[in-house]
Amino acid sequence: MSILIVSGTGTGVGKTIVTAALAALAAERGERVAVVKPAQTGIPAGFAAGSPAGSPAESDLDTVRRLSGVTDLHELARFPDPLSPEAAARTAGLPPLDLTVAARHIANLAATRQQVIVEGAGGLLVRYDPAGGTIADLARMLDAPVLVVTQAGLGTLNHTALTLEAMSARGIALAAVVIGSWPADPGLAERSNLADLATLAGPAGLSRLPEGAGQLARDEFLATARKYLIGLTATVLPILI
């Protein structure tokens, strides 16, 4: 069994698309893979799973299903406002996600799956509960490596370095760094950042997915995932061995 946490340097960096790509690659290999979203925010009340692409009610797991075809999906909490999980729970008057319960649920899934991919909300240190629990804490509970999704443009070096430093301070292993949306026509900053991000990633490795990957049909998406992510370090991403 293997558990991988997908986090990022912030919101909108492409975590869901990277999660879908990893799930698609695992499924292609015939492996039993589950994808977990501990807390989904920003979905209006009354909308069920399976909302159409582009709909304001399309959840992250809906996107994973659409792109990868994986159906073993687990959303542990949902809050209507597009806020951090803790703030969204507080605003809605709902109990926050219990990370200890989430960790137990994920570990139980991992006992009967070859791969469990867990997509966090926002960045590594976004709060899930009033006590300040984060996806980093969940990674430590599960002793799971974290794949960091980042941006290509200006500002990404500092954001990525801070995220990796926070992981190192907590003893969390880095699986890889992935640029979630590499532009079709990268400018000077993006081209320069590519080398610098590779330096930050170190032995774990740097990969990227092209912008617009989330709009591809399923077969095209799989081919894109295979092309761009196959070089990730196999020792920490066993789905790519």
Which residues does the annotation mark as catalytic? 37
Neighbours of 14 (CB within 10 A): 25
DSSP state of 152: S
How many Å apart are CA 45 and CA 97, to the nearest integer?
A: 17
Q: What is the DSSP string of 1-42?
A: --EEEEEESSTTSSHHHHHHHHHHHHHHTT--EEEEES-EES
In 33-155, where do the E strands start and end? 33-37, 40-41, 73-75, 78-79, 115-119, 146-150
Helix, strand, coil in percent for the chain, rounding step 5: 40, 15, 40
Residue among 162, 111, 122 at smallest CA distance from 41: 122
How many Å apart are CA 199 and CA 69, to the nearest integer?
A: 34
Burial of residue 180, with CB atoms counted within 10 A of its CB: 0-12 exposed, 13-18 middle, 19 or more buried? buried
Q: Which residue has the tokens 């032995």?
A: 203
Inter-helix orientation angle 99-110/135-142, to 10°: 40
**Helix (H) or strand (E) run with residue 198 in it:** helix 188-201
